[in-house]
Amino acid sequence: MFSKQTYQNRRKKLINNITEGVILLMGNTESPINFPDNPFPFRQDSSFLYYFGIQQPKLAAIIDVDQEETIIFGDELSIDEIVWMGIQETIKAKANKSGVEKTQAFSQLADYIQKAKSTGRKIHILPPYQAENKITLSKLLEVKISDLKPSVELIKAIVAQREIKEEQEIIQIENTVETSNKMHLLAMQIAKPGMKEYELVSAIKKLAADEESTLAYPPIITIDGQILHNHYYGNTLKSGDLVLNDSGAENKMKYAGDLTRTFPVDKKFTPQQKEIYQIVHTAFEQTKSLLKPGLAFKEVHKKAALIIAQGLIDLGLVKGTAEEAVKNNAHTLFFQTGLGHMMGLDVHDMEDLGEQYVGYTQEDPKDTQTFGWKSLRLGKPLKEGFVVTIEPGIYFIPQLIDMWKAENRLKDFINYDKVEQYRDFGGIRIEDDLLITKEGNRLLGNGLISSVEEIEDFRAKHLS
Ligand code: GLY
Ligand code: MN
Ligand code: MN
């Protein structure tokens, strides 16, 4: 946990940004895999963690904005639970570390809410995503799950706080990015023809565990890099393949790292792989260097699209000018994803609070319709203290190519004959994590090799 004052100050700031009423923050519960006593690993809700720092299931908290009072609701262990799980620090003791004096049994939350409701007080909730919490909120507030109304005022106040990382949070994020760097170096070190993708997965998981960390999300470690969220690890690495490794650690304090490297199974990229890699790498380096306060991330995404389009024009896959190609969204046949997102306690930070509130502004809302652009999670102007990822990519998705080709879509911009030569290419993504500073930006962690030369040198050194 951070210091007691940290959580007290964060809650105080939150109270100051909410006009009136009661904030109800739900902690997460344990979720069964196949029977109740066999749950998925517990992960606390990130907003609950941010304001309380307590990593224990089945807690809820009330922050009374008008009385400036905070209560944590939860049940101390019964003797049966102590028999099976051992004695643990009491909720009261944990709450004290968070600067909260008052704790009550979970069952008393219903009375509290009842009273607040009957006196006409506003009850602010966040959008629930765990089924258990949806049910609990529905019962507590006596409305159908589909009628639960998250408080936009609360969402905006929390986003405004969590998006600006504190110095101590940046230290935590750098720590987990460093673990993530080591995971990536290890994968690039041990990969060789004949190995299974899952061997790389188990190696990076062990490295994370050795640093008291887990993974921040299911890793994407695949020779099919064109499958954007591929979670199948059964392929054998073959000479001529590329390995796309998108993985990041989550440290003890639950901060995330999110890095991607794509490297050859051989010592060198093939000439075709090298050409595509160079385009992605140029987009990666150039867009990273642009990041600074005030610049809309949407513009940085557009810059990546232009670089990718120009690179593909130079190779003969795209026709016309880069400007026109991007205006017509021709680049989205190859670059279907967003350039990046916020990162912090969540790998896609605060995504549960809604992409519109986290990544966009009312004046310039998210495009939820246009292929490619609808996957851009962050569009708004950057501020000092944001932590973001930069992750351009080029992906050849055979089914998408076939569909566009059959429709003759954007035929003035796409050279389908040439694209056919790449249909089995796979995909390349390169991803780093950066802090927006007063002057511009700073790479988080000590840096990880990414250029063709650096990767080929490293592979040559380790692949005997
Ligand atoms: N690891 C998921 C992403 O890069 O957004
Ligand atoms: Mn990633
Ligand atoms: Mn990412």
pLDDT digits (tens, 9 = 90+) for 151-188: 999 999 999 999 999 999 999 999 999 999 999 999 99
Domain boundary among 110, 139, 162: 162
Model confidence, pTM:
0.97
Same domain, yes or no: 124 and 187: no
Q: Whose CA is nearest to atom 3 of ligand 1?
A: 258
Percent of the chain at pLDDT exceeding 70: 100
234 with 182: CB under 8 angstroms? no
Q: Is the CB of 351 under 6 A from ligand 1?
A: no
Per-residue pLDDT, 154:
98
Domain boundary among 162, 184, 210: 162
Per-residue pLDDT, 314:
98
Ligand 1 atom having least distance to the Cα of 247: 1
pLDDT tens digits for 43-66? 999 999 999 999 999 999 999 999
Distance CA 325, CA 410 (A): 9
Mean pLDDT of the chain: 98
Same domain, yes or no: 142 and 216: no
Ligand 1 atom having least distance to the Cα of 348: 5
- What is the best residue among 176, 217, 343 to mutate for testing ligand 1's pocket, by most ligand atoms within 8 Å of CB? 217
Same domain, yes or no: 275 and 362: yes
Structural domain that includes position 409:
167-462
Same domain, yes or no: 127 and 183: no
Same domain, yes or no: 157 and 173: no
Distance CA 352, CA 46 (A): 9
**CATH code of 348's domain:** 3.90.230.10
Same domain, yes or no: 216 and 251: yes
- What is the best residue among 215, 342, 343, 348 to mutate for testing ligand 1's pocket, by most ligand atoms within 8 Å of CB? 348
Gap from CA of 333 to ligand 2 centroid (Å) = 20
Q: What is the DSSP string of 179-226?
A: HHHHHHHHHHHH--TT-BHHHHHHHHHHHHHHTT-EESS--EEES-TT
Q: Whose CA is nearest to atom 4 of ligand 1?
A: 258
Nearest CA-CA partner of 258 in 200, 218, 206: 218
Same domain, yes or no: 143 and 193: no
Q: How many domains does the chain have?
A: 2
pLDDT at 464 over 90: no
Same domain, yes or no: 227 and 78: no
SS3 of residue 3 by DSSP: coil
E-state strands within 172-228: 214-215, 220-222
Same domain, yes or no: 155 and 172: no
**CATH code of 43's domain:** 3.40.350.10
316 with 272: CB under 8 angstroms? no
Per-residue pLDDT, 441:
98
Q: Is the CB of 432 under 6 A from ligand 1?
A: no
Same domain, yes or no: 102 and 178: no
Q: Is the CB of 456 under 6 A from ligand 1?
A: no
Domain boundary among 100, 127, 162: 162
Same domain, yes or no: 121 and 194: no
Q: Is the CB of 346 under 6 A from ligand 1?
A: no
Ligand 1 atom having least distance to the Cα of 429: 4
Q: Is the CB of 391 under 6 A from ligand 1?
A: yes
pLDDT at 216 over 90: yes
Q: Is the CB of 349 under 6 A from ligand 1?
A: no
Q: Is the CB of 246 under 6 A from ligand 1?
A: yes
Looking at all shown ligands, the one closest to residue 216's CA atom is 1
pLDDT tens digits for 241-295? 999 999 999 999 999 999 999 999 999 999 999 999 999 999 999 999 999 999 9
Q: State both tokens at 286.
A: 């150039």
Gap from CA of 76 to ligand 1 centroid (Å) = 37
Same domain, yes or no: 116 and 212: no
Gap from CA of 89 to ligand 1 centroid (Å) = 35
